[in-house]
Amino acid sequence: MKLRRLSALAFLSCLLVTAPLSAQDMGPYDVLITGGHVIDGTGNPWFTADVGIRGGKIVAVGKLTGATAARTIDARGKVVTPGFIDIHSHASQGLQSEDARRRAAPNVVTQGVTTVVINPDGGGPISMSEQRATLERLGIGLNAIQLVPHNSVRREVLGEDFQRRATPAEIARMRALVHQGMEEGAYGLSAGLEYVPGIWSDTDELVALTEEIVPYDGLFHVHERAGGLEPMWFRPSVDDPEDVGANRTTMLDFVNELIEVGERTGAKVHFTHMKVRGAPFWGSGGAANSLINRARARGVRITGDQYPYTTSGSDGSVTLLPEWALGEERWGGGADNATPDYREALRRTLSDPSKAAGLRRDIEHEIAYRGGAENIVVFDHPDRSFIGKSVAELAAARGQTPTEFAITLQLEGFPDRAGGARARSFSFNEEDIEVIAAQPWAATASDGGIALPEDGPTTHARYYGTFPRKIRRYAMDRGVLSVESAVRAGTSLPAQILGLRNRGLVQEGFSADVVVMDLTRIRDMATFENPHQFAQGIEYVLVNGKFVVDGEGHVTGSLVGAVISRKDGLVPPSVR
């Protein structure tokens, strides 16, 4: 009897193994993509297969000769990949816009991105259900995943009295808000420890709040306390290096703190937009990797992501002059609407010898932090001859030191613009980007949002180019990782980090977030002079089985995205 049962089981399991082969879904499909090289997101090398899509799902991957479909895409000579999952996105503002062109996220979907993780850096609304309802009511062009934002939670509980550690009662109230956000479907908790008011949270606060996401296996997704030797807001003339935030002031100290949170809570912890900022710290990417790899070897669930550029978001509004010298409030106050006259404020600072000495000390520090005056380029100034030149070059031409020239830029520049000019610094180095990109746990993320050409010239190129650039520059041109690994870093890896099921692979049963690209032409086109340019080589993009890019550069504007809730799985978009 026992034996018979066993053999019946063996027979059944045989059936289970062979059944999918004999029962291949041969359509008809909504969409059939034929003859492409499938890079399926696992990191495995490409294989040739047709891909059948119906009802928003991938229903068949294989040789589908003779199958019929409402729409067939001939992908011979092309590559078929999963849609990219951008694990650090500032798209939420654009997705909540009244303007449907923004909600279609043209600069994002034309990179092949089909899902964005919103509310990073600790910023965003506290109510996940309200944000989700807004996105669902308006309709969005790609899928969104929510994080509970720590800075918003902290501000809600501590109010204006935030430059201190939280009390046990306040931590209990913050925990309740994090718990509620997770109940409402968020995939984790985001923090921005270099920003107000997260700067003043200590490790115990982070541990307590992270404990709230553990029952959901949520992700603690963290913007660093410092990207280099000190936090970006550090000014030597006014800040005591021993008294900043939780007294952890370098990027490597931050990595250790994040590991500690992971170790004490058992939670998945994530170093988002991992970077090494500032020449004094360049070369530390390998040390950060080593800390992470050693922690992983003893079971800490730590991962990271990066954007493939040598310049950050804050690098794009580099002022070189400290805010105090321009009469600016330090921590985001001072909202009087009068047009500021920064020249006049700077003249007042210069007329006080001790303040002038502090000013020069802070400028020198800022230039060093940005990697030197040769790494700071002027993009707009009343003197048009300055444009496109570095501060080092311009200072030398004037016979000034870079520090004195930073003062000149303001005194001769736009009086209502802090710093007098629009400048961008390039404060990372390539070696750090490359050693991080080569790590198997390092996902790709844009740290960008939604942009339209009318947003002007300050848009970071990463808004348009992140995912194609990772493939073109770091895989194909520089050989830092394989193309298959670069695809994995933007697809199944972020899906796994998030705990997102059924997305991130070209596989039967997975949601039909699919990209058809031409690898021979794939390239990011956005530059810092001219950022509003779609990437090249992304020919078709499907979100939940519907076309959002239908032919290169042709954004359909279809609002077929969904808010993906950890609680409910996919919420099907209503017919729009």
Which spans in 311-424 are helix H?
Answer: 342-350, 353-369, 391-398, 402-411
Pick the closer one to Zn ion by CB: 429 or 446.
446
**Shortest distance in whole angstroms from residue 273 CB to Zn ion:** 5
**Shortest distance in whole angstroms from residue 311 CB to Zn ion:** 14
**Shortest distance in whole angstroms from residue 121 CB to Zn ion:** 4
At 428, list the tokens.
């990372």
Residue 305 binding Zn ion, by CB under 5 A: no
**Shortest distance in whole angstroms from residue 192 CB to Zn ion:** 6
Pick the closer one to Zn ion by CB: 57 or 88.
88
Q: What is the DSSP secondary structure assignment for residue 393, as one 8-state letter?
A: H
Contacts of 1 (CB under 8 A, 6+ apart): none
CA distances from 389 to 79, 364, 484 (A): 40, 19, 38
Contacts of 298 (CB under 8 A, 6+ apart): none
The answer to whether the CB of 443 falls within 8 A of the CB of 497 is: yes
Pick the closer one to Zn ion by CB: 223 or 360.
223
**Shortest distance in whole angstroms from residue 309 CB to Zn ion:** 13
* Cα–Cα distance for residue pair 153/209, rounded to 1 Å: 10
Pick the closer one to Zn ion by CB: 200 or 271.
271
**Shortest distance in whole angstroms from residue 447 CB to Zn ion:** 6
Residue 223 binding Zn ion, by CB under 5 A: yes
The answer to whether the CB of 424 falls within 8 A of the CB of 462 is: no
* Listed ranges 116-124, 293-301, 369-377, 513-521: which one lies at the site for Zn ion (CB under 5 A): 116-124
**Shortest distance in whole angstroms from residue 223 CB to Zn ion:** 4
Question: Could you give the count of Cα atoms lying within 13 Å of 422 in the half-sphere of its Cβ?
Answer: 14
The answer to whether the CB of 24 falls within 8 A of the CB of 44 is: no
Element (H, E) at 320: none
* Listed ranges 216-224, 351-359, 456-464, 482-490: which one lies at the site for Zn ion (CB under 5 A): 216-224
**Shortest distance in whole angstroms from residue 164 CB to Zn ion:** 23
At 108, list the tokens.
């994002």
Backbone angles phi, psi at 528, to 5 degrees: -80, -20
At 420, list the tokens.
């007098």
* Cα–Cα distance for residue pair 457/94, rounded to 1 Å: 17
* Cα–Cα distance for residue pair 364/387, rounded to 1 Å: 22
* Cα–Cα distance for residue pair 35/52, rounded to 1 Å: 12
* Listed ranges 14-22, 215-223, 298-306, 333-341: which one lies at the site for Zn ion (CB under 5 A): 215-223
Residue from 30, 40, 121, 524 binding Zn ion (CB under 5 A) = 121
Residue 277 binding Zn ion, by CB under 5 A: no
Give the residue at shortest CB distance from Zn ion. Answer: 223
* Listed ranges 220-228, 234-242, 246-254, 285-293: which one lies at the site for Zn ion (CB under 5 A): 220-228
Pick the closer one to Zn ion by CB: 311 or 556.
311
* Listed ranges 111-119, 120-128, 231-239, 449-457: which one lies at the site for Zn ion (CB under 5 A): 120-128
**Shortest distance in whole angstroms from residue 122 CB to Zn ion:** 9
* Listed ranges 14-22, 114-122, 405-413, 429-437: which one lies at the site for Zn ion (CB under 5 A): 114-122
Q: What is the DSSP secondary structure assignment for residue 472, as one 8-state letter?
A: I
Element (H, E) at 473: none
Question: Could you give the count of Cα atoms lying within 13 Å of 196 in the half-sphere of its Cβ?
Answer: 11
Q: Is the dihedral of CA 318, 320, 322, 323 positive or negative?
A: negative
**Shortest distance in whole angstroms from residue 306 CB to Zn ion:** 12
CA-wise closest residue to 305 among 435, 442, 439: 442
Pick the closer one to Zn ion by CB: 80 or 191.
191
The answer to whether the CB of 195 falls within 8 A of the CB of 162 is: no
At 205, list the tokens.
């606060």
**Shortest distance in whole angstroms from residue 504 CB to Zn ion:** 23
**Shortest distance in whole angstroms from residue 557 CB to Zn ion:** 29
The answer to whether the CB of 205 falls within 8 A of the CB of 166 is: yes
Pick the closer one to Zn ion by CB: 50 or 121.
121
* Listed ranges 113-121, 141-149, 383-391, 522-530: which one lies at the site for Zn ion (CB under 5 A): 113-121
Pick the closer one to Zn ion by CB: 223 or 469.
223
Q: What is the DSSP secondary structure assignment for residue 385, as one 8-state letter?
A: G
Number of residues that bind Zn ion (CB under 5 A): 2
Pick the closer one to Zn ion by CB: 121 or 257.
121
* Listed ranges 174-182, 218-226, 227-235, 380-388: which one lies at the site for Zn ion (CB under 5 A): 218-226
Q: Which of residues 418-447 bind Zn ion (CB under 5 A)?
A: none
Pick the closer one to Zn ion by CB: 30 or 121.
121
Q: Which of residues 42-81 bind Zn ion (CB under 5 A)?
A: none
Pick the closer one to Zn ion by CB: 139 or 278.
278
Can you say whether residue 365 is alpha, beta or left, with left for phi > 0 and alpha for psi between -120 and 50 degrees?
alpha
- Rounded to the nearest angstrom, the gap between the alpha carbon of residue 530 and the centroid of all alpha carbons in its chain is 21
Pick the closer one to Zn ion by CB: 121 or 230.
121
CA-wise closest residue to 179 among 131, 156, 211, 224: 211
The answer to whether the CB of 267 falls within 8 A of the CB of 303 is: no
Pick the closer one to Zn ion by CB: 56 or 192.
192
Interface contacts to Zn ion, rule CB under 5 A: 121, 223
